[in-house]
Structure 1
Amino acid sequence: MFSHWVPRVFPAIFLLLIILSPPVFGQTHLDLTDVGDDFRFATLTGVMQVLLDPERQLDIDSASAATLDSQYQDVSNGGKIGFTDAAVWTRFTLASHLSSAQTFLLELDYPLMDRIELYEPDGQTSFSKRLGGDAFLFSARDVQVRTNVFTIDLVPGEIKTLYMRLTTNGSIQLPVRLWNQIAFAEYVAQSQLWFGLYFGAIVLLVASAIGGLLFLKSPLFFWYALYLTFYGLLNFTLTGLGFQFIWPGSPLWQDMAPSFFVGVVVITAMIFSSKLLDIAQYSRTFYHLFWLTAVLAAIGIFLSLTGYTGFAKRVSSFSGLVLVPIVMLAAVIAYRGGNIAARYFLIAWGVFLIFVFISGLYYWGVLPHNFVTAYALQLGSVFEVTMLGMALAERVASLNREKEQADQQARGYLTLLNEKLESLVKERTSELEASNERLEELATHDSLTLLLNHHAVLRALEGVINASERHGQSFCIAIVDVDNFKQINDQFGHQVGDEVLVAIANTLSSSLRTYDIAGRYGGEEFLLILPQTSTDDASDLIDRLRLSVSDLVLNNTGGERITVSAGMMAYEHGVSMDVEALFRCADDALYLAKDRGKDRIEWGSLKSLDRSLKGFADEKGGHKFHCIKE
């Protein structure tokens, strides 16, 4: 519905304002060459003639010569010549019907003109020359106001043709008007009042944006305030007020300022619009167009600051020209995508374009001079920035609504989470316990054979020793070593060697009792702990295990018979032996089995309990012992 009523309502409203708005300065349409006692104001653009001097070689004598009369052309486009490197000569004729001599004011209402040379007839054949424009100090002006104004003296019955030579590195426009002094004073007073209201509104909007930034902490307010600030400075420059009040002694900056501020305004407008419309969410193409336009504006700023002001003004003007259609189309896309703030954005730029259109018709001479037509750009810009503020407020409100919805959803999720927390904790606790068990399994078991690893089986042996001492029980251990394992690895490869170890480990696990303990001590050695087992029972058990290994048939060993040797040791209650001593005795027995032909079992024993014998000492003062090979 929004897209249907905006194009109809706003043009009707503002065209009605134009029609009903009364003239500000009495006479607005008369024969512009006639100046009588009742004359107040007239636009001269429509009766002017223009001659372009591309080489800038003509002087006043050449330009006023009768031989060039045929080359002068009527101004048919409202005085808009645009960008040109040529010198522009203009001429117009004033016919005095005054009853007495009077001084009038000739105004070129284009503050950005660099150099103006006004030639006024002085007698029959010569001209007096006066200079104006922003290429000179502001204090050198004929009349020190924001626009370029010259005094013109007329006497009764006088008819004279005046010439102006205009040069600039920017655009040339010719909104030329003639005023009597009273009408011009009224015009200046009303202009100052209007500009005070206009720039006051800009300052208030900037202050509001800064307040929003401080209280709401939204970066959108920062970019809005920055855009408004530079937009105000741009208009202060374009209206000539900057040169009049801020930098009257710097014609150089007056030349650089327009393109500089246009570039900064385009950049801040693009950033603000991009964030307000969230255009990256709706169209990556327009998002990139935004940044390309900003880069173009930045180039204009760079050219301006490095002295290439003529080219800078063209680049900056082009970036400003493409700004409006890009943001308008982006706003349409964002609005269709559901961005409510884009509604105000479209209204803001749409109405601004209407005022730009009104201003264009005014400068073309189609519309009369009144408050709305004379200040169309300022009226449009005030409406634009106000509506952009409303768009910003809507965007922030939308973000707050989204935040509130997110908070409500979060509270709902939190309630649901609290309700299920107990069961979830139990579930996670079970998972954690299972994970811990798996981790413990990985930490205590050999990854290849799945038996206890070196450290775990030694800790198990310490535990069995302690339990045996407490309960007065004996037990046996066996160190089982694979015979000729190096030859197996060398002949068949390490993968086959690993298969042999796994097969032997499986045989150990299946041959031992449930309370027996088996672990991989290292390499091809296994440590077996046989609690509450006599030496005879231990011998029988290990011998059966040895035979089971020798019966293994492995496909990858080429029929080679696999055998193991074992060194065994009994732990006797009352003989203080630690893990190292017990293991050393069993290891000595294993070496004895290897020496006696392999594939057999040997037992280690204590040679003597005499303290004078060499051996391993118990730090607690227990018996000393020495392992012997029998």
Structure 2
Amino acid sequence: MSRKTIKNLWWFCCWMLLASVAIGEAAQDVLVPDELRPWQVSGQENGERLVGQVLVWHDEMATAELADAERALARYRFEPLRHTRSSGLLSGHLWTYMRLENPSTQRREVQLEYVDHQLVNLDAYERRLHDDAQTRFQPLASLAMDAPFYERLVPHHRLVVPVVLEPGETRELLMQMRFPEKGFFFPSLRIWSPDNLRQAQLAELMLVAFLAGGLLLMALVSVTVGVATGERLFFAYSLYALTKIALWWTMAGFTHQFVLSENYHWSYISITGALVIATGLWFARHFLQSNRYTPKLDYLLQSMMWLAVVLVVAAMFQLQAMAVILITLLLFMYPLVCLGGVLRWLQGVKEAGVFALAWAFLVAGLVAQALRDLGYVEHNFVNYYWPAVGSYTEMVVILIAMGMSLNRLRTEKDAAEQRYLIQLENTKTELEALVLERTRELEKAKAAAEQEALTDVLTGADNRRSFFRKASQLLERSRHRSASFSILVFDLDHFKVINDTHGHKVGDQALRLFAKTVQIEIRDTDIFGRLGGEEFALLLPGSNDAAMQTAERLRQVVERLRVIAGEAEIRFTTSVGVAHYRGERNIEDLIYKADVALYDAKEAGRNCVHLAD
């Protein structure tokens, strides 16, 4: 046999093997109703999932009636259900077909439970297996989420269909699952004996009651702390906890069972969910102070809050598809809050890291719910209640973070008060030292001061030479001590007009009145001098804010001055340029900056104060 023949034979075998596998897979997906193995009812059913014994048909147009479903079943359009996952987000209706057999000699009842809380309508039909082929399916149950709770055949917080089988009887069941628009279908039902279902329901009720009680306790504690401390954050937390109680109680179906038994609607789930999202984001933004420290992220959080508002509107107008899409989108955006917590933690806020961890518990639960609804993971008790347990854990850890935040605020307050007391003591000591040193300097300069004229003859203020000497000394002291001081340069507005109109005698009176007034208004430690003509300068040791306040106060005092010239009353004002000491090497540089500011004041219309850049 040649190599070419062997090669062709090899490829032929491979193609045959692949074809047989494909044919086998195709055959595996075809299962006619007559070949469907019935579920053997034992009376001990404990929530087993009907997988491999159920056929499903998707009515995409949502127009099929019972007769259409019967024809689809007869024409083998139903397909086998081989998993317990969700169908994903679908429009239309979903039909399921199954068989239940009672092999015993006793009458048995089983209860078929739809596993999720979101289904709006569930209609069930039945017929005996050995009836005539022309026998139609007969109505068994018609359940609706918004119907009065007492109309349910089984008082359960989810939709449950009871089925009674006589000894040796086999029944065929057709079920129609419906949403108004779109929804997540879970066609794999759970089968229970009545006693086991009641025990499971009691366990669920105890779990939800425990979670709700814990949240209520945390809300009450938070309100108490908020009243005691005046912190609005604790009131926001309390409101967040209360909306969570409403949401999980509603989602589990207990609101319909115990609170709104007659006036319930599926939109309540979306409305309470939107309220939880809105209050949670409000609380998170307040806790993280995102509008101040992470403004870009805060825009996204605000947009999520607006989406929650739109979700409330969509639920109120019963736009179910829009509500489902919005709530799914919001759940996938929830990790943004974790990101905000991490960013604030990186900025040095320790409790923000704890907050991010707490939110991560919630996000993990919500992601599990989203993956479950979208059909990526199997539906089970753990991932069904994971969001509720994760939400509860989130609130516990957040409460710890809030305690850390409160402790930090108290520590910062105590530290600030201590710093304030120390600052007051230091200021007192510095002022006393400054006064003492000033006295000593004056005593040392007394001999020299007697030899020269230190004051301006006309105004009594320091003359230019004296002012510059004192100013240079103050600059040196401030440089060594890193102390602050400012210089104010005054110029009387339109002084030349006063001289030209009323004479130099009246002008001299105005200068003397101005100088005397300023000297009355300033402290002994301030240095005031005449630089020449109508220009004066004032040195103010102390803070920059105090210097600006003094400049404005003196300007206002001057504008109220009057000089009497014969029968005329002369008013005048002053423009002020202010410069703060910024480490200049000499006093001339600082005066130059003040002169520039004075020029700006003149240009601005006079009778005002301008600060040097």
For residues 50-69 of structure 1, the aligned pairs below 5 Å read 50-65=56-71
1:313 Cα deviation from its structure 2 partner: 3.5
Note closer, same or farther for the CA distance 1:136–1:210 as it changes in structure 2 (3 Å cut). same
Q: For 1:40-439, list aligned pairs within 5 A.
A: 40-44=46-50, 47-65=53-71, 70-75=76-81, 78-121=84-127, 123-124=131-132, 125-129=135-139, 130-169=141-180, 171-174=183-186, 176-251=189-264, 254-323=265-334, 325-356=335-366, 372=382, 375-421=385-431
Change (3 A) 1:421 1:75: farther
**2:309, 2:123 → 1: CA distance?**
34
Give the superposition deviation at 1:187. Answer: 0.9
CA separation of 1:349 and 1:71: change in aligned 2, threshold 3 A: farther
Separation of aligned partners in 2, 1:136 and 1:427: 91
Q: Deviations over 1:550-579 (max 9, x none)?
A: xxxxxxxxxxxxxxxxxxxxxxxxxxxxxx
Give the Cα separation in 1 of the matches to 2:142 and 2:427: 81
Q: Does the residue aligned with 1:164 lie in a helix, a strand or coil?
A: strand
Give the whole-Å Cα distance in 2 for the aligned partners of 1:104 and 1:397: 57
1:169-212 deviations in Å (ceiling 9; x for gaps): 45333262110011112112212222221111111111111112
Preserved contact between residue 454 and residue 519 of structure 1 (Cα < 8 Å): no
Q: Where in structure 1 are there 5+ consecutive unaligned residues?
A: 1-30, 461-501, 503-517, 526-630
2:110 aligned counterpart, secondary structure:
strand
In structure 2, relative to structure 1, the CA distance for the partners of 1:426 and 1:282 (3 Å cut) is: same
Change (3 A) 1:440 1:65: closer
**Which amino acid in 1 is paired with 2:298?**
Y
Listed one character per residue, the Cα deviations across residues 8-60 of structure 1 (whole Å, up to 9, x for unaligned) are xxxxxxxxxxxxxxxxxxxxxxx982322443331125643332212222111
Matched letter for residue 310 of structure 2: I
Residues 128 and 362 from structure 1, CA distance in 2 versus in 1: closer, same or farther, beyond 3 angstroms?
A: same
What SS class does the counterpart of residue 285 from structure 1 fall into? helix
Query: 1:510-525 to 2 correspondence within 5 Å?
Result: none
Q: Residue 57 of structure 1: SS of its match in structure 2?
A: coil
SS class of match (2:349): coil
Contact 1:100 1:155 in 2 (8 A): yes
Deviates more, 1:80-89 or 1:359-368: 359-368
Q: Secondary structure at the match of 1:93?
A: strand
Counterpart of 1:39 (choices 33, 42, 45) is: 45
Q: For residues 232 and 45 of structure 1, do their structure 2 counterparts lie closer, same or farther at Cα, with a shift above 3 Å needed?
A: farther
Secondary structure of 1:112's aligned partner: coil
Greater Rg over alpha carbons, structure: 1
Quick one: distance in 2 between partners of 1:443 and 1:151?
Answer: 100
* Offset of residue 369 of structure 1: 5.8
Secondary structure, counterpart of 1:197 in structure 2:
helix
Aligned length: 428
Give, in angstroms, the shift of residue 295 of structure 1: 0.9
Distance 1:288 1:46 in 2: 49
Unaligned residue ranges in structure 2 (runs of 5+) = 1-36, 439-459, 463-487, 514-533, 535-562, 571-613
Let me know the Cα RMSD of the aligned residues.
3.9
| Distance in structure 2 (CA, Å) of the matches to 1:184 and 1:300 | 34
The answer on whether the counterparts of 1:40 and 1:183 sit within 8 Å (CA) in structure 2 is yes
**Relative to 1, partners in 2 of residues 1:417 and 1:285: Cα closer, same or farther, differing over 3 Å?**
same
**CA 1:32–1:208 in 2, change beyond 3 Å: closer, same or farther?**
farther
SS in 2 for 1:85: strand
Q: For the Cα contact (< 8 Å) 2:90–2:183, is it kept in 1?
A: yes
AA paired with 2:100? L
Q: Matched residues in 1 for 2:110 and 2:345: separation?
A: 53
Q: Is the 8 A contact 2:62 2:92 kept in 1?
A: yes
- Write the distance in 1 (CA, Å) between the matches of 2:436 and 2:312: 65
CA distance in 1, matches of 2:92, 2:179: 9
Alignment CA distance shift 1:76-1:219 (3 Å): farther
SS in 1 for 2:276: helix
**Percent sequence identity over aligned pairs:** 20
C-alpha contact 2:331 2:370 (8 A) present in aligned 1: no
Q: Residues 197-239 of structure 1, C-alpha deviation per residue, up to 9 Å, x if partnerless?
A: 1111111111111112111211111111111111111111111
How far 1:291 sits from its partner (Å)? 0.5
Q: Is the 8 A contact 1:109 1:147 kept in 2?
A: yes
Distance 2:89 2:409 in 1: 45
In the TM superposition, what is the alpha-carbon distance from 1:148 to its structure 2 partner? 0.9
Contact 1:40 1:179 in 2 (8 A): yes
2:123–2:177 Cα contact (<8 Å) kept = yes
Inter-partner Cα distance in structure 2 for 1:83 and 1:239: 20
Aligned to 1:552: none
CA contact (8 A) 2:94 2:185 kept: no
Q: CA deviation at 1:379?
A: 2.1
Compute the TM-score of the two structures, normalised by the length of structure 1.
0.60
User: What's the TM-score once normalised by structure 2's chain length?
Assistant: 0.62
